[in-house]
Structure 1
Amino acid sequence: MKKINTNRCQHHFVTVLLLSLLGFPFLTRAQEDLEKELGGMNSKGEKVMATFKSGKLINLHTNETIHKNELDFKVDHRFGDIAGSNGGVSQFFGLDNSTDIRIGFDYGITDRLTVGLARAKGATAVQQLIELNLKMRLIEQTTDDQIPVSITGFLSNTTAAVKANREDPTAATSYGKFTDRMSYVSQIIFARKFSPGLSLVLIPTYIHRNYTQFNDQNDLFALGGGGRLKLSKRISFVVDYTIPFRNAQQKAYLEEVNLKKFYNTLGVGLEMETGGHVFHLNFTNATAIQEMQFIPETTTTWTKGQYRWGFSISRRFSFTKHKK
Structure 2
Amino acid sequence: MIIKKILIFFLDTRAINGHSVNVLEKKDFDFRITHRFGNIATSESYRTLFGLDNSSDIRIGFEYGISDKFMLGLGRSKGASPFLEVWDALLKYQIVNKDKYIITAASSLLFTSMPSANELSSITHFDQLAHRLNYYSEIIAAFKPIKNLTIQGSIGFLHQNKVHYEDKNSHAVLGGTIRYLLFKKVSLITEYYQLLNASNYRENNFTSPFGMGIEIKTYGHVFQLNFMNSKGIVAGQFVPFTNSKWSEGEFRFGFTIARKFEL
TM-score, normalization: structure 1? 0.77
Deviations 1:279-315 (A, max 9, x none): 0100000111111111111100110000000000100
Q: What per-residue deviation string (whole Å, max 9, x for no partner) do you get for residues 81-105 of structure 1?
A: 0011442x21100001000011101
Read off the aligned partner of 1:153 and give its amino acid letter.
Answer: A
Q: Which residue pairs with 2:259 in the alignment? A: 315
Which residue does 2:129 correspond to in 1? 178
Aligned to 1:62: 20
Equivalents in 2 of 1:54, 1:70: separation in Å?
Answer: 13
In the TM superposition, residue 221 of structure 1 has moved relative to its aligned partner by 1.1
Structure 1 match to 2:241:
297
SS of structure 2 residue aligned to 1:57: coil
The counterpart of 1:102, out of the listed 52, 56, 59, is 59
Equivalent in the alignment of 1:237: 188
> Which residue does 1:224 correspond to in 2?
175
* Mapped pair 1:77 → 2:35: yes
Structure 2 contact 166–199 (Cα < 8 Å) conserved: no
Partner SS state of residue 293, structure 1:
helix
User: 1-side partners of 2:20 and 2:141: how far apart?
Assistant: 8
Q: Name 2:158's counterpart in structure 1.
A: 207
1:227 Cα deviation from its structure 2 partner: 1.6
Flag the 1:49–1:177 CA change in 2: closer, same or farther, 3 A. Answer: closer
Does the CA contact (< 8 Å) of 1:288 and 1:294 recur in 2? yes
Tell me the residue number matched to 1:162: 114
Match of 1:151 in 2: 103
Greater CA radius of gyration, 1 or 2?
1
* Structure 2 residue ranges without an equivalent (≥5): none
Of the three residues 80, 98, 107, the one matched with 1:141 is: 98
Aligned AA for 1:210?
N
What CA distance in whole angstroms lies between the structure 2 residues aligned with 1:200 and 1:106? 25
Measured in 1, the distance between the counterparts of 2:41 and 2:256 equals 21
Residue deviations 1:5-26, cap 9 Å, x none?
Answer: xxxxxxxxxxxxxxxxxxxxxx
Code of the residue aligned with 1:311 in structure 2: it is F
Change (3 A) 1:283 1:264: same
Instruction: Determine helix, strand or coil for the equivalent of 2:74.
Output: strand
Q: 1:71 to 1:206 in 2, by over 3 A?
A: same
Distance 1:246 1:123, change over 3 A: farther
Given candidates 87, 90, 96, the residue that maps to 1:130 is 87
C-alpha RMSD over aligned residues:
1.4
User: Which residue does 2:220 correspond to in 1?
Assistant: 276
1:178 Cα deviation from its structure 2 partner:
1.0
Asked whether the 8 Å contact 1:106–1:116 carries over to 2, the reply is yes
Alignment of 1:13-28 (within 5 A): none
Partners of 1:134 and 1:220 in 2: how far apart? 20
| Residue 177 of structure 1: how far off its partner (Å) | 1.3
Higher strand share: 2
Residue type of the alignment partner of 1:67: E
1:52 aligns with 2:7: no
Quick one: which amino acid aligns to residue 107 of structure 2?
L
Q: Deviations over 1:229-275 (max 9, x none)?
A: 111111111111111124343336xx4xxxxx311111111111111
Unaligned runs of 5+ in 1: 1-46, 143-147, 256-260, 320-324
Residue type of the alignment partner of 2:253: W
